[in-house]
């Protein structure tokens, strides 16, 4: 689901090209697939994370610029300075990150509103949406079988492998949920049904 979401947003809806820049927030499932897909298509990728260790792995997966958002709460300033404005934001934070996401999107940029991981009370000013003619688009559901097949074909061609953090046996499902809830994972946490 995370892979299909990242694929649909960046490639099918976003028409991502090699000369564009993508900002992926955090190193969870959606953002990690987004990092890999964007890098495979030749785009520049910026990744934020609360963990320097995870940022190191993000660089191995294709991130060009990495920022620790806990050490640098005003990460938007750094992204704007380093990129001059990004073309796509993989916006998984919600109210807690949306204001800075709108700030770092370049003119005509596409803000893919996918999740609400950093949800909190916030007032978001629509000025950047108007002033930069941004495309702020909600993401809902996954996609068609045909889209999924196109994603798998691209993954095979580009040798993109899902980033699996940890696999739990089915009888460890409670531990799997607790592990996922703790947020220490990078990419996907899998429960095996074999």
Ligand X SMILES: NC(=O)c1ccc[n+]([C@@H]2O[C@H](COP(=O)([O-])OP(=O)(O)OC[C@H]3O[C@@H](n4cnc5c(N)ncnc54)[C@H](OP(=O)(O)O)[C@@H]3O)[C@@H](O)[C@H]2O)c1
How far is Cα of residue 192 from the mean position of the Cα atoms in its chain? 25
Q: Which residue is nearest to ligand X (CB)?
A: 28
Which DSSP helix (H) or strand (E) runs through 7? helix 2-7
Q: What are phi and psi of 125, to 5 degrees?
A: -80, 135
CB closer to ligand X, 114 vs 155:
114
Among 48, 66, 83, 100, binds ligand X (CB under 6 A): 48
Site string for ligand X, 22-41 (x = CB under 6 A): ---xxxxxxx----------
Among 1, 124, 133, 153, binds ligand X (CB under 6 A): 1
Smallest gap from Cβ 69 to ligand X, in A, equals 5
What is the spatial distance between Cα 116 and Cα 69, in angstroms, rounded to a whole number? 16
Query: 89: which 2 tokens?
Result: 């934001």
Q: Which residues make beta-bridge pairs with 105?
A: 86
In the complex, which residues of this chain contact ligand X (CB under 6 A)? 1-2, 5, 25-31, 48-51, 54, 69, 92-93, 96-97, 114-118, 139-141, 183
């Amino acid at each position: 689901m995370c892979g299909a979401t990242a694929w649909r947003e960046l490639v099918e809806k976003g028409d991502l090209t090699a000369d564009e820049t993508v900002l992926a927030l955090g190193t969870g499932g959606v953002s990690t697939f987004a990092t890999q897909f964007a890098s495979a298509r030749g785009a520049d990728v910026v990744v934020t994370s609360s963990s320097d260790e995870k940022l190191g792995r993000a660089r191995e997966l294709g991130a060009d610029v990495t920022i620790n958002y806990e050490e640098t709460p005003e990460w938007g300033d750094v992204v704007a300075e380093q990129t001059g404005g990004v073309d796509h934001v993989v916006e998984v934070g919600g109210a807690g990150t949306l204001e800075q996401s709108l700030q770092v999107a370049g003119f005509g940029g596409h803000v893919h509103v996918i999740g609400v991981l950093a949800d909190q009370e916030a007032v978001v000013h629509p000025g950047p949406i108007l002033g930069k003619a941004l495309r702020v688009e909600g993401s809902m559901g996954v996609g068609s079988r045909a889209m999924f097949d196109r994603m798998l074909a691209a993954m095979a061609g580009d040798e993109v492998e899902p980033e699996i953090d940890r696999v739990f046996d089915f009888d460890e499902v409670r531990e799997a949920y607790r592990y996922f809830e703790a947020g220490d994972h990078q990419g996907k946490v899998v429960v095996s049904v074999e």
